[in-house]
Structure 1
Amino acid sequence: MKTLHHSPHLSSNQCGSVVTQIIQAPLPLVWSVVRQFDEPQAYKQFIKTCSLSSGDGGDRSVRELTVVSGLPAERSTERLDILDDESHVMVVSIIGGDHKLVNYRSTTTLHEEEEGGGDTVVMESYVVDIPSDSCEEDTCLFADTIIGCNLKSLAKLVEKMAGHHL
């Protein structure tokens, strides 16, 4: 498995992790959903609304998100740093909002499963500052849980689109 993009350099006040999801659908179909920077709520269930404040959904675009009630935030501002359709890599940084995810940067990559069964492996890694009122374990647990839920939701959506009713 290619982990080139998932080897972040962490400073002493940061933590990070990699979350992986196997999706029973072809890579081009999965990528067609993941790459939609202006429509993350298609599979990210914690997002209520999304609007672009700059750009057209490509590199350097900025989106304003409203998150669902119940989370410790109401809004987030995110920038698309890299969208590579050839390598299936997307890098997003959180650049504002009313949450504790300071200096958060995530990298999502898609790979065809090595056994050649037509499945797609989605890997999402991140780096984030550890809040002064928290610890590394709690910060990573929060981020891992959100990413894990998002990737499971992505799998369910795309597998349904592909005709797999699992």
Structure 2
Amino acid sequence: MNGNGYTRMEGDYIIRHHRHETRDNQCSSALVKHIKAPVHLNYSSVITLHPEIIDGRPGTLVIESFVVDVPDGNTKDETCYFVEALINCNLKSLADVSERLAVQDRTEPIGRI
């Protein structure tokens, strides 16, 4: 372990793939979980953020896609439903926090700036 609580390997991956430049009013974290299974069995996802205009104001379109193995005894539909529910919960939390910050910032409608 190094001074920040990560092993050298974890720290190297975090520095390479998860570095964020934060402002004074921001925080950042990286969560680590070791799973006793090879990578090709583990969950895979892509998340992208795209600017858009919502109700005349700057907004963000978030798209997350995933691939996950269907466990024995489950159907594809059951597995997708479960994973989609988890992702939707996370995206709702992201939206709630971001929209609360946007209201505090009082983002002006497009064309009034």
- Residue by residue over 1:43-66, the C-alpha shift from the partner in whole angstroms, topping out at 9 and shown as x without a partner, is xxxxxxxx75412634456842xx
Question: Aligned partners of 2:75, 2:97: CA distance in 1, in Å?
Answer: 33
Of 29, 41, 45, the match for 1:106: 45
Question: Aligned partners of 1:122, 1:97: CA distance in 2, in Å?
Answer: 30
The structure whose residues are more often helix, as a share, is: 2
Mark the runs of 5 or more structure 1 residues left unpaired by the alignment: 1-50, 65-75, 78-95
Of 76, 92, 95, the match for 1:136: 76
The structure with higher relative contact order (CA 8 Å, sep 6+) is: 1
Question: Aligned partners of 1:52, 1:139: CA distance in 2, in Å?
Answer: 32
TM-score after normalising by structure 1? 0.42
Which residue identity lines up with residue 105 of structure 1 in the other structure? S
Of 148, 151, 155, the match for 2:88: 148
Report if aligned partners of 1:103, 1:127 keep a CA contact under 8 Å in 2.
no
Mark the runs of 5 or more structure 2 residues left unpaired by the alignment: 19-29, 107-113
Which residue identity lines up with residue 55 of structure 1 in the other structure? G
Q: CA RMSD in A?
A: 3.0
Which residue identity lines up with residue 47 of structure 2 in the other structure? T
**What residue in structure 2 maps to residue 122 of structure 1?**
62
Give the length in aligned residue pairs. 83
Of 97, 102, 108, the match for 1:162: 102
Question: Aligned partners of 1:152, 1:97: CA distance in 2, in Å?
Answer: 30
SS of the equivalent of 2:58 reads coil
The structure whose residues are more often strand, as a share, is: 1
Deviation of the 1:107 alpha carbon: 0.5
- 1:58/1:107 CA distance change after superposition, 3 Å: farther
SS of the equivalent of 2:90 reads helix
Which runs of 4 or more aligned residues in structure 1 lie more than 6 Å from their structure 2 counterparts after TM superposition? Answer: none
Which residue identity lines up with residue 87 of structure 2 in the other structure? I
Question: Aligned partners of 1:52, 1:135: CA distance in 2, in Å?
Answer: 37
SS of the equivalent of 1:162 reads helix
Question: Aligned partners of 1:137, 1:127: CA distance in 2, in Å?
Answer: 13
